Amino acid sequence: MNKFDSTLLPQTNDKEEIQKGNLDLLEKINATILFMQEGIVTFAQEILKVLSTYIFPASRVSFAPGNSGLSATEVQTMGTELANPVNVKASVVDADTVTGNDSADGGKVKKWTWTTIKAFLKTYFDTFYPIYTTGTQVIGISFGGGSVGITYSFAQAEWQKTGKHVHVNGYIILSSKGTSTGAAKITGLPFPVKNSTAGYSPCGIAGLGGITFADFPSGYGLAGASEINLQETTNAGTTTDLTNADFTNTATIMISIDYITA
């Protein structure tokens, strides 16, 4: 603190001079106090300007509840937390809220739940990273596009999809091949094969039981469809479709295929 300035005191023994000096001193003290008060008010006003510019819009400096969905209790709590930001929460739950300014509504103070924030972030980041999903699928066999009377002991596939890439493993065990005739196909892929010339996708085949072929069994995903065409290729290089005539009532087949969907 500054030392007291003794020159402010009257420098005489005359009573009238002393009285006049005292009055002058009081005026100087009052002027100093007024100056300090005005300075404090000006400082407070500047603080409010900063708050209104960087933290709250001008319409919200008064912290009036109701304008933006905030209750009086929430406004009071918000003010307390701004003044004393000491509470820390280790984990976030869906019901938690975050308060901020809504740029689409004149900068009004709004609140968002963590559920809303997560949904926004998922939508945003899904545009950068492929979506990975998995599932199971009922598959089957058709002959000539029909499946009259066909029954199964087991007919199911498991699939994984990353972006537009699909991988499928499936297993079929017939209990009756029914009465439909014609070219054999695996039906029920979880997603259609991309409909383009390059969309045709080779399919691995194994575990054939009760199925005749000459000399090499093969298959491929049909472009634009959710089916696998089953074929046979001779050692001489002749390729033909497998048909109902190649299957017994208890035929088994395993398939594995990777393809691009639309």
- Boundaries of domain holding 37: 8-72+107-111
CB 260 within 8 A of CB 199: yes
Q: Are residues 142 and 64 in the same domain?
A: no
241 vs 217: CA distance, rounded Å? 10
Q: Are residues 59 and 144 in the same domain?
A: no
Q: Are residues 143 and 215 in the same domain?
A: yes
Q: Are residues 141 and 251 in the same domain?
A: yes
φ and ψ at residue 210, rounded to 5 degrees: 70, 25
Query: What sign does the dihedral 142-147-149-151 (CA atoms) show?
Result: positive
The SS3 call for residue 167 is strand
User: Residue 91 has what pLDDT?
Assistant: 86
Show contacts of 25-33: CB within 8 Å, 24+ apart.
Answer: none
pTM of the model: 0.58
Amino acid present at 159: W
φ and ψ at residue 202, rounded to 5 degrees: -65, 145
Domain count, the chain: 2
CB 131 within 8 A of CB 110: no
User: Residue 62 has what pLDDT?
Assistant: 46
Within-domain flag for 209: yes
User: Residue 32 has what pLDDT?
Assistant: 66
> Which secondary structure element, helix H or strand E, spans residue 112, and what is its range?
strand 108-113
Q: Are residues 146 and 254 in the same domain?
A: yes
Q: Are residues 38 and 147 in the same domain?
A: no
Within-domain flag for 172: yes
Within-domain flag for 251: yes
195-226 burial, b at 16+ Cβ within 10 Å, e below that, comes to: eeeebbbebebeebeebebeeebbbbbbbeeb
Q: Are residues 61 and 170 in the same domain?
A: no
Nearest to 244 by CA among 130, 150, 108, 129: 150
Q: Along the chain (262 residues), what's the average pLDDT of each consecutive run of 10 residues? A: 51 59 65 62 57 47 49 61 66 87 87 90 83 95 98 98 96 98 98 93 96 96 97 97 98 98 91
208 vs 213: CA distance, rounded Å? 10
The SS3 call for residue 238 is coil
Within-domain flag for 117: no
User: Residue 100 has what pLDDT?
Assistant: 84
Q: Are residues 138 and 237 in the same domain?
A: yes
Within-domain flag for 121: no
Domain boundary among 57, 80, 111: 111
CA 185 to chain centre: 38
